[in-house]
Amino acid sequence: MSNDLRRAHAALIPYTPFITQWSEERDSPSQIVERPGRGIGYSDETVNDRDGNGVLWFRMPSRPGQGRPLFTKVHPQRQRQAMRRLLCGVCGQPADQNADGTLWLLCDFRGDWPDWPERMAVTEPPVCRPCVRVASRLCPALRNRCVAVRARRAPVAGVWGALYRSGGHSPPVPVGDVSIAYGDPAIRWVRAFALLRELHECVILDVDTLCPESTAG
């Protein structure tokens, strides 16, 4: 890593999102096993490994601020916490809510379908209004192509995670990443690393109007 890149990286550390994984939060060693008739589990499973719907979750220690931020990776438990409690994914404080709904900052994909983002499942937690400025300026995925969205309803819909299949007499075999709804029997074969909410009754807002300084350079 060049000195210029190191300096740029260090400058971003104070703005590290709440849900970002840090380098000292390494994957916890775990052995995936098949539970006959019940999908997958850990060989040394505890009650903390599953959510209230019985879905198995990816294990990872929580050590925010230790090491360096891995901006392209998300910490599973903090993402889940932010989504369940409607916390801002940037600062971890309560997301902005008003009569029009909870505030999200999303990449602009209005060309995907006519009433986008209606009925869209998202893994991105909502945001608070002050963090719109930070996220829209500093997040490479959002810079110059984001919109603010308020959703009056955003129910928890499912999870995104690694899907496994039975290995027969061998350990279960991962077959790919999927988004899957709670209630789908196949969710028993998923190890989740993100919670999904589905957006309904959406209103799209202009970021510059919502936060005039958000695009200031």
Q: List, for residues 39-61, the tens digit of each pLDDT value.
A: 999 999 999 999 999 999 999 99
In a domain, 217, yes or no: no
In a domain, 216, yes or no: no
pLDDT in tens, 81-91: 999 999 999 99
In a domain, 154, yes or no: yes
Q: What total of structural domains would you count in the chain?
A: 1
Q: Is the pTM of this model over 0.75?
A: yes
Q: DSSP letter string over the chain?
A: --HHHHHHHHHHGGG--TTEEETT-PPPP--EEEETTTEEEETT--GGGB-TT--EE------TTSS-EEEEEE-HHHHHHHHHHTB-TTTSSBPPEETTEEEEEEE--TTSSTTTTTT-EE-S----HHHHHHHHHH-TTTTTSEEEEEEEE--EEEEEEEEEEEETTEEEEEEEEEEEETT-GGGGGEEEEEEEEE-EEEEEE-HHHHSTTTT--
In a domain, 79, yes or no: yes
Task: Determine the structural domain holding residue 203 and report its residue range.
Answer: 3-210
